[in-house]
A and B are shown apart, each in its own frame.
Chain A
């Protein structure tokens, strides 16, 4: 029982980071109906950039988010303009999967050349510290990681609900044709939205690098988890994504202590199969275009 509670705490903290990673995927899917298979690679890119900022410039990984996220935001906007926008409307859904997969390969290749394929980890002075709460170990760095994820997610939802840009994004998600009629520049929204979605990935990557070791190939592992999460949450629902991410974080941790750590990644796929059999539209899925 103790073990399971401990696993739930750990899983919840991990789930918060998953939520940040997957929310970008959901945002991009909501706006453009594009599934960004390169999201995992963007996370790893963020992890490496923050690793470099830490080892070379001695910037704390959490602070480095302020540096890394804008860089990756620009990269994402350029990718959207150069590779996703030119795709024809009726083929965009299919071709964007392949295009973003190719981008993921490209990023993996560049990172392998720049950093080699050995596993890295951003190890801060507080990496090994932990608090004792009611007799349970709670790793400090994981709590910070969770907190940062909540902050970034909160900022994202504030932007979406409170600003003019956010309203334009939500209008585009709900009904692109009417949004365009009302004078919203859908193309601009798509480019900026894609930039934001990968910037959240980079922010999550900085956090990821502090908690888990990574190498350029780690993005495959990540993207398989994230894709499961967005299917589980119901494609395009931000609330569903957060709930699904927390749920999967806990499920994975509990699976790991009760059954076997080597089989823990399978928990994602078992849940995925179950959800497809029972409720193919996901937890919060809607059959029509959703509200983010």
Chain B
């Protein structure tokens, strides 16, 4: 298995290079602000894809850990100053590791179930986190929220450090995804996705693989939550543990292509600017929810496999010079049957 393909390396260098240069080319605050949120969702979607895309376990409660990361940073810096403004970024790895450790026992319980029941358990996780944020008043200040010191960044380039932090976390998530795909752990996850019982039967330690991936995925999510909290400098329970954040990230994964490397980021790049525009045009009105729901339904029904898998199929079909794209790629049995018919 050759790990690094030149074309992949070039692609990553070009995209990440362009993203690094972006705030210098387009320094207007509102553009960079939008880009911060786009990168945030790109990171969230990519890290969600680690678990949801690779192992097939649909977690709808990742935002619980986003909230944990956000509150960790907010609680740590609510009283003290932030010095030159870069200290909160430096403690992010601790936040990620802490969240991953908290996640282990939770994941152990959640992984006692599979399929739709697992999804349900993760949904309830979201509500547990929200309840805790509301009720642990001495720690979280309840529904009044927590404020932090505003960092002393120059106004003209205020967004830039947050942008770079989000970019770094996105790149880290991407690196994890890429590394996992070729690693033994990744192969274990694919085996679990295809047939967990059989995978366990042939000696894959499914439990360890799932726990490790869950912890990695939510650790990344928590770090992104930490940057988000610091960027807003004020967080409330209903915003820090907003179900829309998870559902947004999941939507982007499905739009771009579940289980692909770049799909989630592509989905985020398309949807977040559109979402920000919708929110801006429709204001705070809840019509925004209706638009969101409509986009979601269209994506799931019209493009259930996502952009990247559909495109690669189309290209593969063109190369073969026929209508080869009709072969259902994801079902091994389907492929075997159609090949059997052909021969």
Interface residues of A (CB under 8 A from B): 29, 33, 35, 37, 83, 86-88, 90-91, 93-95, 97-99, 101-103, 105-106, 108-110, 112-113, 117, 216, 220-221, 223-224, 227-228, 230-231, 235, 262-263, 265-266, 268-269, 272-273, 276-277, 280
Contacts and interface: CB of A to CB of B under 8 A. Distances in A.
A13 to B, nearest CB: 23
B120 to A, nearest CB: 5
Interface string B113-145: 101110111011011100100110000000000
A109 B124 contact: no
- Give the 8 A-B CB pairs with smallest separation, nearest first: A109-B289, A112-B286, A106-B293, A102-B296, A109-B290, A224-B127, A105-B293, A280-B112
A103 B293 contact: yes
Nearest to B291: A109
Main SS at interface, chain B: helix
Interface string B303-339: 0100000000000000000000000000100000000
A98 B116 contact: no
Contacts of A220: 127, 243
B127 A269 contact: yes
Contacts of B87: none
B131 A265 contact: yes
B297 A269 contact: no
Given A101-B247, A272-B124, 5 more contacts: A90-B331, A101-B296, A103-B293, A220-B127, A269-B128
Contacts, number: 125
Contacts of A101: 60, 247, 296
Given A87-B304, A117-B286, A224-B127, A35 B297 contact: no
Nearest to A235: B117
Nearest to A111: B286
Contact of A98 (B110, B120, B254): B254
A266 B128 contact: yes
A35 B120 contact: yes
Residue among A33, A83, A109, A280 with the highest chain B CB neighbour number at 10 A: A109
19 contacts: A33-B116, A86-B301, A93-B116, A94-B58, A94-B119, A98-B254, A102-B292, A108-B286, A109-B293, A220-B243, A221-B127, A223-B123, A231-B121, A263-B131, A263-B135, A265-B131, A266-B128, A272-B121, A280-B112
B294 interface: yes
Nearest to A260: B135
B220 interface: no
Given A97-B116, A98-B296, A266 B287 contact: no
Nearest to A262: B135
A107 to B, nearest CB: 8
Given A97-B116, A220-B127, A105 B292 contact: yes
A166 B251 CA distance: 36
Contact of A108 (B124, B135, B289, B291): B289
B300 A99 contact: yes
B288 interface: yes
A277 B112 contact: yes
B155 interface: no
B285 interface: yes
